[in-house]
Amino acid sequence: MDAPRPRPTLDAIPVYVPGKPATVRPGLTAYKLSSNENPYPPLPGVVEAAHRAVARMNRYPDLGNTELYAALSRRLGLPEDHLALSTGSVALIYQLLTAYCAPGDEVVYAWRSFEAYPIATAAVGAVEVTVPLTADARHDLDAMADAITDRTRVVFVCTPNNPTGPAVTHTELTAFLARVPGHVVVVVDEAYLEFVRMPDAVDGLALHREHPNVVLFRTFSKAYGLAGFRVGYAVADPTVAAAVRAVSLPFGVNLVAQAAAVASLEAEPALLERVDALVAERDRVGAALREVGWRVPDAQGNFFWLELGERTAEFAAAAEEAGVTVRPFAGHGCRVSIAEPEAGDRFVELAARFA
Ligand SMILES: *Cc1c(COP(=O)(O)O)cnc(C)c1O
């Protein structure tokens, strides 16, 4: 029988596995450590701005995101045409690939890295070229430069790398960019930028000024605590920003999200204090993990990576039992988010049993 058939490339799209919600257990506070979310509730000014916007829900949002572009432009010291807002950086990944890749073109990224890269690559019919992480779970930027061919259109550098944690240095990234042909877009996915505390940290805005093919992806989902509202933005050369905007869904960033993001930028000092507290908690948990015998990769985001191999599912189940929900990657390892200290304590206790 004749039936509508989607493009054959759709069969190749892997399924996005979201972090599971926390399982409620009687007598035990459950913690969701599976999606790298900010555990703090939204700041007062942000909640009120969102409430005010809710009252206007019968109206379309501002198509041009005027206030949010203006606020970001002031915050970053960049003209608005260097920015492209969208519904989270996941949407930016799709848009960038849609704008730059024809079927058969190549997209290079490290593996394991952010699981949205293979999904979006397959969705646009491009071909993934994956480059294994080094033994200490870092990007191998030399090997990634070697992997670039005439067909390469886009390279993703996820720093800090989700789910393993290490960040590349500014020196490493600068050396890499010197080897990348100018027609290849290099996305520096800085979803965890605010959590980075290391010498020679990437200065994305400096790279943006020096390299028209560099695109920074940033998000309000992690440090800013607006994961549920879906707002992210790209910093790019105006031609690239225009291409990313051209393929966006009209009215994507809804009016509550726009208002909350503007208010979050105003509340930035208070938000970043919370980030400091999370970084302190990360360092505490990291020291404790090493104490009990784990050699975890350097964690520059708000999460740790335990390479558990065949014990991955067992660990995830035991964590569930202990009232903490983690993110297992089948047969490879678990990513565990930093959140409340009690959750961190339970995670360390559990990790000790698996050390
Ligand atoms: C969480 C995350 C994002 C952000 O996704 P949003 O769509 O903005 O919520 C982007 N990149 C990486 C590597 C992430 O971990």
CATH, residue 341: 3.90.1150.10
Domain ends where: 240, 265, 290?
265
Co-location of 58 and 206 in the same domain: yes
Q: Classify 100 as helix, strand or coil.
A: helix
Least confident of 14-18, 114-118, 166-170, 234-238: 14-18
Separation of CA 327 and ligand 1 centre (Å): 15
Containing domain of residue 171, as a range? 46-265
Tell me if the pTM is above 0.85.
yes
Separation of CA 330 and ligand 1 centre (Å): 20
Co-location of 261 and 279 in the same domain: no
Q: What percent of the chain has pLDDT over 90?
A: 91
Q: What is the DSSP letter of 137?
A: S
pLDDT tier at 102 (50, 70, 90 boundaries)? Answer: very high
Decide if 73 contacts 67 (C-beta within 8 A). Answer: no
Whether residue 286 has its Cβ less than 6 Å from ligand 1: no
Given a cut of 90, whether residue 292 has pLDDT beyond it is yes
Q: Which atom of ligand 1 is nearest to the CA of 219?
A: 8
Average pLDDT over every residue of 159-164? 98
Residue 297: CB atoms within 10 A of its CB come to 22
Helix H or strand E segment including 215? strand 214-219
Predicted confidence (pLDDT) per residue in 264-286, tens digit: 999 999 999 999 999 999 999 99
What's residue 98's pLDDT?
Answer: 98
Q: Which atom of ligand 1 is nearest to the CA of 230?
A: 9
Decide if 249 contacts 261 (C-beta within 8 A). Answer: no
Co-location of 124 and 249 in the same domain: yes
The dihedral through the CA atoms of 171, 217, 305, 37 has a sign that is positive
Separation of CA 328 and ligand 1 centre (Å): 17
Q: Give the separation between CA 284 and CA 198, rounded to whole angstroms.
A: 16
Residue bearing the CA closest to ligand 1, atom 2: 191
Domain ends where: 241, 265, 289?
265
Given a cut of 80, whether residue 1 has pLDDT beyond it is no
209 located within any domain:
yes
Phi, psi of 306 (to 5 degrees): -110, 115
Q: Which atom of ligand 1 is nearest to the CA of 227?
A: 9
Cα angle at 248 between 247 and 250, to 5 degrees? 125
Whether residue 89 has its Cβ less than 6 Å from ligand 1: yes
Residue 130, domain CATH:
3.40.640.10
Co-location of 291 and 239 in the same domain: no
Q: Which atom of ligand 1 is nearest to the CA of 232?
A: 8
Co-location of 320 and 209 in the same domain: no
Residues in the chain: 355
28 located within any domain:
yes
The amino acid sitting at 234 is A
Domain ends where: 219, 245, 265?
265
283 located within any domain:
yes
Co-location of 24 and 50 in the same domain: no
Domain count, the chain: 2
Mean pLDDT of the chain: 96
Q: What is the DSSP letter of 313?
A: H
1 located within any domain:
no
Co-location of 205 and 247 in the same domain: yes
Separation of CA 181 and ligand 1 centre (Å): 26
Whether residue 253 has its Cβ less than 6 Å from ligand 1: no
> For the purposes of burial, counting CB atoms within 10 Å of the CB of 301, is it exposed (0-12), middle (13-18) or buried (19 or more)?
buried
pLDDT tier at 168 (50, 70, 90 boundaries)? Answer: very high
9 located within any domain:
no
Co-location of 206 and 321 in the same domain: no
Whether residue 161 has its Cβ less than 6 Å from ligand 1: no
> For the purposes of burial, counting CB atoms within 10 Å of the CB of 149, is it exposed (0-12), middle (13-18) or buried (19 or more)?
exposed
pLDDT tier at 244 (50, 70, 90 boundaries)? Answer: very high
Give me 93's structure tokens: 């990944």
Co-location of 189 and 80 in the same domain: yes
Separation of CA 90 and ligand 1 centre (Å): 6
Separation of CA 235 and ligand 1 centre (Å): 15
